[in-house]
């Protein structure tokens, strides 16, 4: 947001000594208050067909999780029906959902991955 205040001289009486400042424009800038982008969590859903090994590999490849963390998330998905893979901006989260879903389909698995408000 930019707020402008224009100061212009009306004649020679308004001018300081000399020609400096005559017809000058002064702009005051207000700092824009921006909010951080909304975050979204990528959630994998459990199914009875996708192998646990595939889920662990997907977590490692697309979410850069180490083997132990990927295994813990996979077990949470398996036992609780869903698990958070990561929290990202909307574009990044949507891209990760698409990548995981495409990889699962190529491998013949019905794995579902969704994004939700964090």
Same domain, 12 and 45: no
Q: Give me the domain span that covers residue 6.
A: 1-34
pTM of the entire predicted model: 0.71
Tokens of 50: 């996708």
Domain identity same for 51 and 25: no
Task: Mark whether 30 and 46 lie in a shared domain.
Answer: no
The separation between CA 97 and the C-alpha centre of its own chain, rounded to angstroms, equals: 13
Report the alpha-carbon distance of residue 41 to residue 93 in Å, rounded. Answer: 7
The predicted structure's pLDDT at residue 13: 53
Question: pLDDT value at position 44?
Answer: 98
Q: Note whether 12 and 48 are same-domain residues.
A: no
- Regarding whether 97 and 46 lie in a shared domain, the answer is yes
- Give the separation between CA 37 and CA 26, rounded to whole angstroms: 33
Q: What is the mean pLDDT of each run of 10 residues along the chain (118 residues)?
A: 47 54 74 90 97 98 98 98 98 98 98 96
- Statement to judge: residues 52 and 27 lie in one domain: no
Do residue 86 and residue 43 come from a single domain?
yes
Strands lying side by side in the sheet with 39-45: 82-89, 39-45, 112-117
Whole-number pLDDT of residue 7: 45
Q: What is the DSSP letter of 67?
A: H
Q: What is the pLDDT of residue 95?
A: 98
Which pLDDT belongs to residue 91? 97
Same domain, 60 and 103: yes
């Amino acid at each position: 947001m930019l707020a402008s205040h224009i100061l212009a001289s009306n004649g020679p009486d308004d001018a300081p000594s000399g020609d400096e400042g005559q017809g000058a424009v002064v702009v005051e800038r207000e700092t824009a208050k921006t909010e951080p982008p909304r975050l979204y969590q990528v959630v994998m859903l459990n199914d009875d067909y996708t192998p646990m090994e595939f889920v662990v590999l997907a977590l490692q490849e697309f979410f850069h999780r180490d083997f132990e963390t990927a295994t813990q998330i996979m077990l949470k998905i398996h036992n609780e029906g869903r698990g958070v893979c990561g929290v990202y901006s909307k574009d990044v989260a949507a891209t990760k959902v698409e990548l995981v879903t495409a990889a699962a389909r190529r491998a013949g698995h019905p794995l579902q991955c969704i994004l939700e408000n964090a």
